[in-house]
């Protein structure tokens, strides 16, 4: 149901049809009644409803039709419609298609969603209350303006990424960036893709700086690339949750971390001259041991120290300072020894 066509609706129609779905815009009850048959089942979603998909699907499950409701306290102010003295609509229901025929008995300018809700309740379709846990926070809300949509996006992001410990300073910076700018990127619909491209740009800049001898700057930009990777990880998790998509076997962020590690190794080699007579393998082993130890450490031990050890932004800062003083080789060897010693420590036992 729509008041009319718009570029956004046409774009949505094309996306739906490209996915193999039928998409029809109805502007009045007469058109809707002509599209729905008595054997159809109709899922009715009120305009502006924002609900957690998993919660909504669970509440609609079952063979019997259902009208979702909630306590009237606070619901009217939030934009939901009153049903009776104690209940308000929750903006979502599943009803038989035959009820649409009754819209012919109503004026052409009636509120279709409200009318269908009242028709469903009049014939005795059961009501099901949305649990308080599902309505808490940003879980079940009515959006009435673009400003409310932006505010809700911020709240939704904070509810997922704004609590708990980050594990390391770099991850805290990445999370702060997502909470500050993530809603704008998500609103544009290409958040994780944009940030992933920024990762590649940062690594390219790092390679250019390293090629021209500014290796310390290269370390800085590789560290920035890792921060962007962690931000893209959070944004992609938000996108998958919103779209109901499962996590892939190898997330894109993990592949980008491998690229960041390769960039770190290249920067170390650029700042580590090969001594006369030194075998190529020995020269390559210096960064390889460090980066492989960083990958191995989380698999063999745990604790807060692992989060700090895996913080590539912190590593980039340390190596940038070391490069400025011409001590990259010494620092890389010391870090390798410290990390290997941490991996050999016995795991902490509780109790």
pLDDT in tens, the chain (351 residues): 888 888 989 999 998 999 999 999 888 888 888 888 888 999 999 989 998 888 898 999 888 899 999 999 989 988 999 998 999 999 999 999 999 888 888 887 788 889 999 999 999 999 999 999 988 877 899 998 888 888 888 787 887 776 655 678 898 899 888 888 777 777 666 788 889 999 999 999 999 999 999 999 999 999 999 999 999 998 888 888 777 677 888 889 999 999 999 999 999 999 988 888 888 888 899 899 999 999 888 887 776 777 788 899 999 999 999 999 999 999 999 999 998 888 787 655 554
- Measured on CA atoms in the order 240, 246, 248, 251, is the torsion positive or negative? positive
DSSP string, 267-281: HHHHTSPPPTT--HH
Reported in sequence order, the residue ranges of 206-304 that DSSP labels E, i.e. its strands, are none
Residues 259, 198: Cα–Cα separation, whole Å: 13
- Those residues whose C-beta lies under 8 Å from the C-beta of residue 42, and which sit 6 or more positions away, are 36, 94, 95, 96, 97, 99, 100, 116
Cβ(182)–Cβ(155) under 8 Å? no
Domain residue ranges in the chain: 36-142, 146-344
Here the tokens at position 5 are 């066509």
Please tell me the pTM assigned to this model: 0.75
Residues 182, 161: Cα–Cα separation, whole Å: 11
Backbone angles phi, psi at 50, to 5 degrees: -120, 115
C-alpha distances in Å from residue 158, one per residue of 178, 190, 329, 337: 9, 19, 41, 38
Rg of the chain over all Cα atoms, to the nearest angstrom: 28
- Three-class SS of residue 82? strand
Backbone angles phi, psi at 310, to 5 degrees: -85, 5
Here the tokens at position 233 are 């990880």
Architecture per CATH, domain 36-142, reads as Alpha-Beta Complex (3.90)
Residue whose token pair is 């009237």: 72
């Amino acid at each position: 149901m729509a008041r009319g066509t718009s570029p956004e609706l046409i774009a949505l129609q094309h996306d739906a049809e490209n996915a193999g779905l039928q998409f029809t815009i109805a502007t009045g009850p007469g058109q809707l009644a002509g599209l729905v048959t008595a054997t159809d089942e109709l899922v009715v979603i009120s305009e502006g409803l924002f609900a957690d998909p998993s919660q909504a699907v669970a509440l609609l499950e079952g063979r019997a039709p259902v009208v979702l409701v909630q306590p009237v306290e606070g619901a009217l102010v939030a934009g939901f419609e009153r049903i009776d003295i104690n209940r308000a609509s929750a903006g979502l229901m599943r009803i038989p298609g035959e009820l649409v025929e009754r819209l012919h008995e109503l004026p052409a300018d009636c509120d279709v969603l409200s009318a269908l809700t009242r028709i469903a309740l009049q014939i005795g379709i059961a009501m099901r209350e949305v649990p308080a846990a599902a309505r808490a926070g940003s879980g079940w809300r009515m959006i009435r303006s673009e400003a409310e949509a932006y505010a809700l996006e911020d709240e939704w992001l904070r509810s997922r990424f704004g609590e708990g410990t980050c594990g390391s300073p770099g991850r805290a910076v990445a999370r702060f960036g997502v909470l500050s700018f993530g809603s704008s990127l998500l609103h544009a619909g290409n958040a994780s893709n944009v940030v992933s491209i920024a990762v590649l740009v940062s690594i390219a800049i790092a390679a250019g700086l390293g090629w021209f001898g500014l290796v310390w700057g290269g370390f800085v930009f590789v560290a920035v690339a890792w921060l962007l990777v962690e931000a893209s990880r959070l944004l992609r998790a938000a996108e998958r949750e919103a779209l109901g998509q499962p996590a892939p076997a190898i997330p894109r962020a993990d592949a980008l971390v491998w690229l960041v590690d390769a960039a770190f190794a290249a920067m170390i080699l650029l700042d580590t001259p090969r001594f006369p007579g030194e075998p190529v393998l020995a020269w390559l082993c210096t960064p390889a041991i460090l980066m492989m130890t960083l990958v191995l450490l989380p698999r063999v031990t745990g604790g807060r120290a692992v989060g700090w050890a895996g913080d590539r932004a912190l590593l980039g800062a340390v190596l940038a300072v070391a490069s400025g003083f011409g001590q990259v080789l010494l620092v890389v060897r010391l870090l390798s020894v410290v990390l290997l010693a941490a991996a050999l420590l016995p795991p902490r036992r509780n109790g």
